[in-house]
């Protein structure tokens, strides 16, 4: 899920992580998905925050131009454990065609707004939903370059139609000494999603947590990092929540509360 970026702002701060999640039965579903990301969003922190405010890196998975750039996103990059992985992927989509890259971009804007309102400085790994990449190794390095206290990668899964629920991935075993922090971050995010009435995945992980050694963005990060798979886009119930503006607002509230709990704010 990643590739070279065209924006100068992103070139300065490249990098981060990955995606799956779900809501409990009876959660509200919306009609056609709508995008509400503010126009001109950039990788800059909000001017309203103080210089000593904690920094959080948000990594909206994939990118809108990835599908038109197979060679760019297919090139091998370091995986953080001595091997290589493709630079990025196109991501998944609901059966109705709502793409993961659009979902993660919209969700990132909602989470950013909430965190900035709480006095947190936010940096993004991409500044629009029209480019290509960045690559997974660049995403993994972005948190350290931004001086982030935490990095959160936002995704949605593409598993079998019967699979439901969110899971939060973290590097296991850790590579750069960030293991305890990453597990605390993943746990805080899991608890935030559970408190937000989202159900943990019934097909992967353990009680909403998933230690992974195969995700380059997690392996390469030098700051506490977790990847949130908010739900399964191929499951009809999950897709209804992921595709609705109300559902994305609920996810944003839950993820933001997890981040703020981790930061002790």
Active-site residue numbers? 229
Instruction: Indicate if the alpha-carbon torsion angle 138, 139, 144, 146 is positive or negative.
Output: positive
Instruction: Indicate if the alpha-carbon torsion angle 110, 112, 117, 118 is positive or negative.
Output: positive
Residue 255 and residue 185 in contact, taking contact as beta carbons nearer than 8 Å: no
Residue 16 and residue 153 in contact, taking contact as beta carbons nearer than 8 Å: yes
Residue 146 and residue 57 in contact, taking contact as beta carbons nearer than 8 Å: yes
Strand pairing category for 76-78 and 84-86: antiparallel
Residue 137 makes CB contacts below 8 A (sequence gap 6+) with 15, 77, 78, 80, 87, 216, 217, 220
């Amino acid at each position: 899920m990643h590739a070279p970026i065209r924006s100068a702002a992103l070139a300065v701060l490249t990098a981060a992580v990955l995606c799956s999640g779900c809501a409990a039965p009876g959660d509200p579903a919306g009609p056609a998905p709508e995008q509400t990301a503010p126009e001109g969003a950039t990788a800059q922190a909000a001017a309203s925050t103080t210089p000593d405010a904690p920094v959080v890196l948000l990594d909206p998975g994939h990118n809108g131009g990835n599908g038109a750039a197979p060679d760019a996103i297919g090139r091998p990059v370091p995986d953080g454990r001595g091997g290589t992985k493709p630079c990025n992927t196109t991501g998944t989509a609901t059966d109705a065609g709502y793409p993961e890259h659009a979902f993660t971009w919209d969700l990132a804007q909602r989470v950013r707004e909430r965190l900035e309102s709480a006095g947190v400085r936010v940096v993004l790994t991409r500044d629009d939903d029209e480019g290509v990449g960045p690559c997974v190794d660049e995403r993994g390095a972005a948190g350290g370059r931004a001086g982030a206290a935490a990095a959160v990668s936002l995704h949605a899964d593409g598993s079998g139609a019967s699979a439901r629920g969110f899971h939060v991935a973290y590097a296991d075993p850790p590579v750069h000494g960030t293991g305890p922090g990453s597990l605390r971050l993943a746990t805080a995010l899991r608890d935030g999603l559970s408190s937000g009435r989202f159900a943990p995945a019934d097909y992967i992980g353990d009680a909403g947590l998933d230690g992974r050694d195969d995700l380059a963005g997690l392996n390469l990060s030098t700051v506490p990092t977790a990847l949130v798979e908010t739900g399964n886009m191929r499951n009809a119930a999950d897709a209804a929540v992921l595709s609705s503006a109300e559902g994305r607002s609920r996810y944003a509230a839950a993820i933001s509360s997890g981040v703020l709990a981790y930061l002790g704010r």
